Structure 1
Amino acid sequence: MKHWMLWLLAGVVALVGGLAALFNLNSASNLTITLGGWALIIVGALQGWAAYKAKDVRTMTGAGLLAAAALFLGVSLLFGPFGDGSILRVLLGVFLLASGLGKVWMGRSLRGDTVFPALLVAGGVSAVLGLIVLMGLSLNFGLIVALELLASGAALVLLSLRLRQHAPKG
């Protein structure tokens, strides 16, 4: 499988997981957490594989950080928070900040590219969500997971299309 296809697959999984979580906010919060948890685990595994296959250190580092954060949060969502749940709130906030910073980090090398503004917006969405969670502001948990998956999915799809454009032919 080509390197850009892993990024595209991770992006599609994140978008589908985000849409599924978005449509299940009020009716099934447990389903939202389960869908979001599995989507984060799948996205994290695919990003980890993409990081392993990356050709340069910057891409490998950014993808690796996002993969580790997504895997950890996905497992935490599926198997429950540790203690009284405040640790999950902190983990979610830190994950969202790391996700936002990772998107901006990967986008740094794309200044002037057409995907650069979209990566900044996706990174900004994640970072703002992280700050909201860390500040303890009340926002539907399912909405936070859905928005993060949608932002990450959009960024991954755009990056994969850019990687496909610049992939060696053959």
Structure 2
Amino acid sequence: MSNWVILFGIGILGIIAGLMALFNPFGASLVVTAIAGWSFLILGILQIFEGLRAQGWSGKMWSILMGVIAVFLGVNLLGEPLKGMLVLTTLVGIMFLASGLFKLIIGLRIENPQLKWAVMFSGIISAFLGFMVLSNLPQSAATMLGVLLAVELLSNGVSMIALALARKDGAMTDA
């Protein structure tokens, strides 16, 4: 089986997973929350073990403290997934808003008119998305993470299929 077929299959799976997330955004939001919870839990445990092995009291203390905080976050996300969805959605909204404001500030400093308006337009979109998410809490928490996951899976699926077809046609070789 050639490399392009594998990429094409991954792309199809990405699109299928994206559509499933889009058709059930609440379930996908729960999955995102569970993944975040398990990630914090596992990384926190690893951080604690690394802290126990660290040299010097200061490095040991900070590493263990950060690990304990991560474990605490992971356990809370897994134990209270609905509250976790609310917290994660709030963070996503704040991130979009901050990203949008940052892009607007940067856009004002760019001299090239085409680039300036592209960056500023992107900033307006990001800030608007952040405002939409934050102004619709807690209702947006039930679906926002799932919709974002769906969009990410769909866009990755489409790009994998495009990459696979480019490799099939010989327009792109393995690097």
Q: Same fold (TM over 0.5)?
A: no
Higher relative CO (CA 8 A, sep ≥ 6), structure 1 or 2? Answer: 2
TM-score (norm 2): 0.37
Query: Which structure would you say has the larger Rg?
Result: 2
**Greater helix share, 1 or 2?**
2
